[in-house]
Amino acid sequence: MTEIILHEPLDMHLHLRDGDMLHTVAPLSARSFSGALIMPNLVPPITDGEMLRAYRRRILDAAGEECFEPYMTLFFKPEYDFDFLAPLAEEVTAIKLYPAGITTNSEGGVSGFDVETLRPALEAMSELGIPLCIHGETGGFVLDREREFVPIYEELAVAFPELSIVMEHITDAASLEALERHPNLYATITLHHLLITLDDVAGGMLQPHLFCKPIAKRPEDREALLHAALSAHPKVMFGSDSAPHPRHAKEAPGCAAGVFTAPIALPALAELFARHGKLENLQHFISLNAREIYQIDPPAKKVRLVDTPMQVPEKYGEVVPLFAGRKIGWSIADVEC
């Protein structure tokens, strides 16, 4: 039997939703992760300290787990300024910027990326040491959207050199190249973008449970992402972008975007890293890099994974997970905190 013990695993991009859905999914992340960066795209989005504190309490209540830290984010608004953000700096781990209308519940996001319009908010974040997370896609042709956004990432990285900018859920080799050019650019990578390409989504019968934004790209993009993750690239962190939608919203005309991976992420990552002979680098991808980049100190937790298969349930509540009904080669043996 092969095993690995992961210390303080972190999911640096997670959608937990609210209400019943929050109660279904939060315990699944809290069981095996030590902390997660919680996305603010609720309806309405999280845009002030009161909403953020109340949401954090609802998450902790639903998680039912003491050693799990929800790292909270605000939904970026160009109106944010130093006076608004300064009192919140301790509670806000990052601010998430969505281009308006680009994905689920992003209607109140940013239209147009004029540096001068964004300057007061981004300078305040820079001064306060609050990282900016970005969903980097333009409104262009779907396969080109992330690549077309790269110049915007670069313009922001140069204009605000002290601001840490996280390119969220990157899917395109061009994003990795940009990462190398700017010291203040970082990135998260999902599990599904390490595993699938557009072929898996739409090359045969359409697979709604693999449909997400950004859409999975070409084999050479996946190879580049895989290389960065497996080699423990210090600027790359795991962020699942686990995005639960009820089955009826996925298996429908007008399929909602999002892949639900939270409960299977650690076994699937262990299997992937083991298959490539890189298990020793998983700790960096799953925790150490994020701790360094975000300067966070998550609650102590040890997760022991073994190469004993896990049978993935068909559903968790109303949500169909990645690999539903199939087996993954690895499983969680025990969790200590």
Q: What is the DSSP string of 79-132?
A: T--HHHHGGGTTT-SEEEE-BTTSSTT-TTSB-S--HHHHHHHHHHHHHHT--E
By C-alpha distance, which of 131, 129, 122 is closest to 94?
A: 131
CB of 25 to Zn ion, least distance (A): 13
What's the half-sphere exposure (Cβ side, CA atoms, 13 Å) at 215? 21
Cα-Cα end-to-end distance for the chain: 23
Three-class secondary structure of residue 191 per DSSP: coil
The rounded Cα 2 to chain-centroid distance in angstroms is 28
CB of 297 to ligand DOR, least distance (A): 28
Contact 8, 299 (CB under 8 A): yes
Nearer to ligand DOR (CB atom), residue 52 or residue 282 = 52
Q: Which does 147 bind (CB under 5 to 8 A by kind): ligand DOR, Zn ion, none?
A: none
- 73 torsion bin: left (phi>0), alpha (psi -120 to 50), beta (else): beta
Q: Which of 81, 114, 241, 297 is catalytic?
A: 241
Nearer to Zn ion (CB atom), residue 16 or residue 279 = 16
CB of 202 to ligand DOR, least distance (A): 15
Residues that bind ligand DOR (CB under 6 A): 15, 41, 103-104, 135, 212-213, 243, 257-258
CB of 280 to Zn ion, least distance (A): 29
CB of 258 to ligand DOR, least distance (A): 3
- Spell out the residues 6+ positions from residue 315 whose beta carbon is closer than 8 angstroms to its own: 247, 321, 324
Q: Which does 290 bind (CB under 5 to 8 A by kind): Zn ion, ligand DOR, none?
A: none
Residues that bind Zn ion (CB under 5 A): 241
Nearer to ligand DOR (CB atom), residue 97 or residue 288 = 97
Nearer to ligand DOR (CB atom), residue 226 or residue 249 = 249
Question: H/E element holding 32?
Answer: helix 19-32
Catalytic, 241? Answer yes
By C-alpha distance, which of 337, 226, 326 is closest to 273?
A: 226
Q: Which does 104 bind (CB under 5 to 8 A by kind): ligand DOR, Zn ion, none?
A: ligand DOR
CB of 201 to ligand DOR, least distance (A): 11
Closest chain position to Zn ion (CB) = 241
Nearer to ligand DOR (CB atom), residue 104 or residue 281 = 104
Contact 145, 137 (CB under 8 A): yes
Q: Which does 103 bind (CB under 5 to 8 A by kind): Zn ion, ligand DOR, none?
A: ligand DOR
Nearer to ligand DOR (CB atom), residue 41 or residue 287 = 41
Q: Which does 47 bind (CB under 5 to 8 A by kind): Zn ion, ligand DOR, none?
A: none
Nearer to ligand DOR (CB atom), residue 213 or residue 284 = 213
The two three-digit tokens of residue 49, written as one number? 């300290």
Question: H/E element holding 71?
Answer: strand 69-75
By C-alpha distance, which of 275, 240, 269, 243 is closest to 256?
A: 243
Q: Which does 41 bind (CB under 5 to 8 A by kind): ligand DOR, Zn ion, none?
A: ligand DOR
CB of 15 to Zn ion, least distance (A): 6
Q: Which does 233 bind (CB under 5 to 8 A by kind): ligand DOR, Zn ion, none?
A: none
The rounded Cα 215 to chain-centroid distance in angstroms is 14
Express the helix, strand and coil content of the chain in percent, nearest 5 each: 40, 20, 45
Residues with active-site annotation: 241
